[in-house]
Structure 1
Amino acid sequence: MDATAGVVWGRAEQQDFRSRVRGTLLGAAVGDALGAPVDGADLAAIRETYGAEGLADLAPAYGRRGAVTHLTQLTLFSVDGLIRAQVRRDTGAWHPPTDVHRAYLRWAATQRDWGPDERRAEDGWLAREEWLYTRRDPTRALLLGLGDTVMGTPDAPKNPEERGPEAAGRSAPFGLLVGWDPQLVAQLAVECAAQTHGHPAARLAAAAYAVTVHGLVRGAALEPAVRHALAVLATRPGHEPVSEALRRALGAVRQGLPTPERVAGLVGDGTAEELVATAVYCASVGEDARHGLSLVVNHDGPSAAAGALTGGLLGALHGETALPPAWVAELEGRPTLLELADDFAMELTQGAALHGPAGAAPGWLARYPRA
């Protein structure tokens, strides 16, 4: 698993990659923040509160506009875990699912501790961000899956019947490993999903989403990226519910102008595969990022997860400048998101200069300890 193999990093390529990394993380967070105020509300209640067109702008949640949920929190820790995995390669230890799991355990500590423990230098800088120490409605599956130090695996997953979208909702960063083979991206997403969401459809939905992001960041258009994800899925047992949902989404794109009813039909029961398919649809038919995100959060289901999944696709496809600037400006944790995105891009494009046989940058290893 070489995260840099096959990629030639000229200056233009580095700049494009950084824009797409920023876009993916900011887009997922913006979509999460847009959907948070109406998460789980029925469409009639949304229209009664926000008008006939439903929610079309950021609204207060958790006491402020632009607030994010546990989905953005966990996405940040996914990135942190991937950077730590790259840094730990120098020690001969190379198992990214373990490093991501350790990052998720650091997130779990933010859900029970009052604030960061400055004595734990091995936690790195992200775990010392005080704004993350707040509960934003994490699901029972997340708290149970990460409630002890035992790591779920595909052979012994945590919450084996859990089919919700939360694992897929934190999987965009796996798609940013642009030098990896798509099958390895899918496997990493599956293994990390199994740490909290054990149902095969939830794990494979996370894989399909990560592989789609992977194709977008490498320059593919959305439909070809989804079709490639379908080809990757086809080799894996139990893929049928996810593949069928994605094919329905691609078919719906050709059925005329988007409507709330068509979105609701794709959302269905709000399972992982249905939410990923809905995100594909709304990212495809939206006139721009604002329209696509507004379309995807107005329904009876998990609006925050739907928004996060759609925003991640749009950011990976178009880069950070395609996102509504007024929404980005109000986004909770934006400095942290940008700092982490730039660190990830720098690690993947210039990691050899930061740590390796020729030497190491002490500041980098303080941010991302090998321990």
Structure 2
Amino acid sequence: MTALTPMEQLLHEHEDDVAGFGHHAVHGELLIPGEVLLGEREVLEVYTDESRLPAGVEQWIRLPLHTILSRLVASKPKLHVNPGQPVEAEFDFGELADAAAQHMRICGCGERPSATREAARWVDGEGRRFFLVPHDDSRLRGCLLGGAIGDALGANTENLPMEVVYERHGPDGITDLPEKPDVTDDTQMTLFTFEAIIRAHVRERLTGERDITTVTQNAYQRWLHTQKTPWDKARGIHSTVDEPDGWLITHQDLFRMRAPGLTCTSALQEYARTGEQATITKPVNNSKGCGGAMRVAPVALADEDPAIVFALAEDNAALTHGHPSGYLSAGAFAVLVHQLLRGKDLLEALDVAVDELVRCEGHEEVVAGIEHAVELAALGNPGVERVEELGRGGVGDTALAIALYSTLVTDDPNEALLLSVNHGGDNDSTASMCGNLAGALHGVEKIRPDWVERVQFREVVDRMVADWELETSAAAPVAQEWFVRYPPS
């Protein structure tokens, strides 16, 4: 006979004593087969060990008895422990809950709600099992990996004249990823934006508070730390965290200075010194640089309402860029991504973005850039001259225009990426933004597989996309290790 687990020993000792079992087993763990915690049911079947689960069960949820009784079951069913097993019991839910509550009042031990999604087949590198949520992430992966690929395509030629590009790469300019396809600050900051969106969702799920911009500010202070700024100088005067936290910051390859924008770093350093968060009405500077727009693609995930996405992206960019063309371009760009991720075509998405944009004071430069991009795309015959007619991409309005033009003028995301990177301006940012748009529009399958496989941080992007899908699913984790991975701050 299989040795009894601790919970089974308690069942054996308190076979006909619901009060005794409820008192002594309140912190013991049980397994619920499947993926759904909530729901109406007459009988809730639970198990004391993986070996007791019915044949064919590949996914289950492990959680303490007190959490089952107090938090996770909408109805008050019978609790059936180990149905069909040698050590089996059935309890009245209400009686068991009363006994457990009495124990917790007497001993003052308090409730420690937790749940871990586990699976029979998947184990992470540290031996921990998580439930993996099936999802269709082609557009989101395309958006984020496309952005990283564009960034890497232009990383070594940023702001170099095309004559130098031709000398280095031949008469067709840039046609492939470099041998070492590393990204720049554009992708680094996009990853920290994505982390902020996940952590803000965790925060809202746990506390009901929604403060995405503050969570994002904290994320950018962690990015600042990766750029050779000591943590005590980077974290900000409001932070009480002794070390930067979360999973993303553990990736040592982020601790590399890849042409960080002076505007971003100086604005974040100012926040660290003063604790005063920059806003649209209280700008930190008058910069219209593209650094506010190139990082906001993940903000598209923050809400279903494009108006809210626009406002959140504006606020995000205004943390470091105070000119309307710097933050309005970010708002329009995030709405474009938002609509493309939801299956709209690019011109439909553009209508939604422009509708939000024209409501804002100071929109004229960004609107003019968009209109110019649409006009040039309609002419066809894409090339360097067309791209450079839109500007150099160093400011938000021209970076958005080049990214938009490159995506509009061709149905091939790979051609769009090469078009957006071959010009004598801020080509890593324009190509990164183009990759975000083209990847969200076409999906990751349409991007060259060798580029997807080789680009730096592909594994990080894939893991974060899977984590986002899990966090926003019906099986959102409540185990402590998840909150260590994505602290709600």
**TM-score with structure 1 length normalisation?**
0.88
Runs (4+) off by over 6 Å = none
Task: Label 1:136 to 1:280 Cα distance change in 2 as closer, same or farther (>3 A).
Answer: same
* Aligned mates of 2:163, 2:244 — CA distance in 1: 48
* Aligned mates of 1:184, 1:138 — CA distance in 2: 28
Amino acid at match of 1:366: V
The runs of 5 or more residues in structure 2 that have no matched partner are 1-132, 232-240
2:183 corresponding residue in structure 1: 68
* Aligned mates of 1:55, 1:367 — CA distance in 2: 38
Equivalent residue runs for 1:1-371 within 5 Å:
15-16=135-136, 18-60=137-179, 65-89=180-204, 90-112=206-228, 123-147=245-269, 148=272, 149-159=275-285, 161-177=286-302, 179-268=303-392, 270-348=394-472, 350=473, 352-355=474-477, 360-371=478-489
* Number of aligned positions between the proteins: 344
* Aligned mates of 1:122, 1:274 — CA distance in 2: 35
Helix, strand or coil at the partner of 1:15: coil
Kindly state the Cα deviation for residue 243 of structure 1 after the two structures are TM-superposed: 0.9
Helix, strand or coil at the partner of 2:435: helix
State the percentage of identical aligned residues. 37
Structure 1 contact 104–146 (Cα < 8 Å) conserved: yes
Q: Which has the higher contact order (CA 8 A, sep 6+)?
A: 1
Structure 1 contact 84–370 (Cα < 8 Å) conserved: yes
Kindly state the Cα deviation for residue 320 of structure 1 after the two structures are TM-superposed: 1.4
Kindly state the Cα deviation for residue 269 of structure 1 after the two structures are TM-superposed: 6.1
Amino acid at match of 1:307: A
Structure 2 contact 403–433 (Cα < 8 Å) conserved: yes
Amino acid at match of 1:70: D
RMSD: 2.0
Helix, strand or coil at the partner of 2:164: helix
Structure index of larger Rg: 2
Task: Label 1:338 to 1:172 Cα distance change in 2 as closer, same or farther (>3 A).
Answer: same
Helix, strand or coil at the partner of 2:155: helix
The worse-fitting range, judged by mean Cα deviation, of 167-176 and 142-151 is 142-151
Structure 1 contact 286–295 (Cα < 8 Å) conserved: no
**TM-score with structure 2 length normalisation?**
0.67
Structure 2 contact 297–334 (Cα < 8 Å) conserved: yes
2:128 corresponding residue in structure 1: none
* Aligned mates of 1:241, 1:345 — CA distance in 2: 36
Structure 1 contact 249–281 (Cα < 8 Å) conserved: yes
The worse-fitting range, judged by mean Cα deviation, of 90-99 and 196-205 is 90-99
Helix, strand or coil at the partner of 1:169: coil
Helix, strand or coil at the partner of 2:390: helix
* Aligned mates of 1:199, 1:342 — CA distance in 2: 35
Kindly state the Cα deviation for residue 120 of structure 1 after the two structures are TM-superposed: 5.4
Helix, strand or coil at the partner of 1:254: helix
* Aligned mates of 2:470, 2:357 — CA distance in 1: 30
The worse-fitting range, judged by mean Cα deviation, of 361-370 and 28-37 is 361-370
